Amino acid sequence: MNGVILRWPVPIGTSINAQYYKKVLQDKLRPAIRKKRPRLLESGILFHHDNAPVHTARAGTDVLAGYQWELLEHPRYSPDLAPCDFHLFPKMKEHLRGQRFETEEDIT
């Protein structure tokens, strides 16, 4: 809602597992929140991530529970909930293939 708090590129060749995710939560995300939006830590954080195994593994969920952040439920995947992902969006992107935009204004 107020912009990106953390953008963390994963180094090439790094395996994304529960321990890596835990380390990012502890060493990258929480300090970024403390630096950019310290009031969030006082007022409470609503945290949302999907149901990927790395996100639901105990290592990460224990860290989030210790932070007392409220976890928002993510619905289980169902193809009938998002048919656009498989049909509409690829068709919409076809006419954009190969185009480059210099600025955000060029996109609109």
Q: Where are the domains of the chain?
A: 18-77
Which positions ≥6 away from 106 have C-beta within 8 Å?
A: none
Distances 53 to 16, 35, 43, 57, 104 between C-alpha atoms, Å: 10, 29, 29, 6, 35
Q: Is the pTM of this model over 0.75?
A: no
Per-residue pLDDT of the chain (108 residues; tens, 9 = 90+): 678 899 999 999 999 999 999 999 999 999 999 999 999 888 889 898 888 899 999 999 999 999 999 988 877 766 666 656 666 777 777 888 888 889 888 887
Q: Taking a C-beta distance cutoff of 8 angstroms, is the pair 51, 81 a contact?
A: no
